[in-house]
């Protein structure tokens, strides 16, 4: 007989997960995502097409193209960043340029390779002008696409990269320093918070902290795959 999710996570040593401070905030985010779920398609191709043609917020007027995501659509790992930058907007792929190279190195440290057993996406699918922080209504407009990606991929673990991605997904204003080092949950999937590669490039002194996060992610994935591990 299948155990409830909470009991399974307890058996893995992954419970309790860190809870959101205000459950009403979670409901306010979940409702619009559920409300438009039937409008964005059930297949991967339909979802990609919906992102490319989306006009749900003002960013559709300034972007070059929607940045859907890249990688293995049956991945165990899912990387979620903040929003496309100029290079991503131009090329249509998340995490490119120097930050993308650092992400690839981080994935290699986990025994992963871009396109193989990992899927990479952003909270926002369109670039905010000047790389400003996204507005709440822009996050609301994009969340249904991310939720559907998670539904279709069914990852075992999410790695949220950067303050904005972590705060948006967990609906909190808690600092990334306080969110690190513990297991969270998003949309029923275990989630770990770490620094964005772009931040790492600006702050090389935090390399050790980032490595701690990757070790936690690797250990968590190992326990998810083999509950018998201590």
The residue ranking higher by pLDDT, 54 or 37, is 54
Residue 17: pLDDT over 70: no
pLDDT band for 91, please (50, 70, 90 cuts): very high
Between vectors from CA 122 to CA 155 and to CA 210, what angle results, nearest 5°? 75
For 57-76, how does the pLDDT look when each residue is reduced to its tens digit (9 = 90+)?
999 999 999 999 999 999 99
The residue ranking higher by pLDDT, 10 or 88, is 88
For 22-48, how does the pLDDT look when each residue is reduced to its tens digit (9 = 90+)?
433 333 334 334 434 446 767 999 999
Whole-angstrom CA distances from 10 to 13, 14, 15, 218, 223 are 5, 6, 5, 18, 11
Tokens 């969340």 label which residue?
Answer: 143
Proportion of the chain above pLDDT 70, given as a percent: 82
pTM of whole model > 0.85? no
pLDDT band for 6, please (50, 70, 90 cuts): low
CB 31 within 8 A of CB 98: no
Classify residue 4 as exposed, middle or buried by CB count within 10 Å of its CB (0-12, 13-18, 19+): exposed
- Half-sphere exposure at residue 138, Cβ-oriented, CA atoms within 13 angstroms: 22
Mean pLDDT of 81-109: 94
Residue 224: pLDDT over 60: yes
Residues 6+ apart with CB under 8 A from 152: 44, 47, 73
| SS3 state of residue 95 | coil
Which domains, ranges and CATH numbers included, belong to the chain?
Answer: 5-225 (3.40.470.10)
For 147-181, how does the pLDDT look when each residue is reduced to its tens digit (9 = 90+)?
999 999 999 999 999 999 999 999 999 999 999 99
Tokens 């619009």 label which residue?
Answer: 32
Mean pLDDT of the chain: 85
Q: What is the pLDDT of residue 168?
A: 92
In whole angstroms, what is the distance from residue 168 CA to residue 163 CA?
A: 8
pLDDT band for 9, please (50, 70, 90 cuts): very low
């Amino acid at each position: 007989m299948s155990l409830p999710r909470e009991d399974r996570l307890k058996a893995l040593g992954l419970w309790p997960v860190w809870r959101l401070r205000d459950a009403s905030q979670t409901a306010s985010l979940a409702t619009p995502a559920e409300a438009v779920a039937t409008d964005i398609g059930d297949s991967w191709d339909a979802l990609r097409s919906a992102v490319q043609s989306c006009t749900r917020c003002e960013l559709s007027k300034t972007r070059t193209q929607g940045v859907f995501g890249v990688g293995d659509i049956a991945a165990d790992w899912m990387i979620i960043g903040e929003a496309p930058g100029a290079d991503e907007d131009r090329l249509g792929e998340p995490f490119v340029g120097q930050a993308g190279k650092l992400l690839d190195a981080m994935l290699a440290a986990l025994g992963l390779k871009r396109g193989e057993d990992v899927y990479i996406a952003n909270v926002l699918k369109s670039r905010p002008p000047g790389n400003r922080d996204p507005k709440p209504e822009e996050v609301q407009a994009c969340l249904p696409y991310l939720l559907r990606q998670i539904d279709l991929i069914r990852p075992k673990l999410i790695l949220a990269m950067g303050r904005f991605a972590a705060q948006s997904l967990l609906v909190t204003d808690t600092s990334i320093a306080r969110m690190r080092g513990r297991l969270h949950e998003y949309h029923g999937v275990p989630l770990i918070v770490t620094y964005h590669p772009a931040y790492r490039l600006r702050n090389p002194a935090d390399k050790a902290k980032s490595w701690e996060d990757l070790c936690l992610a690797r250990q968590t994935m190992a326990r998810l795959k083999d509950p018998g591990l201590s």
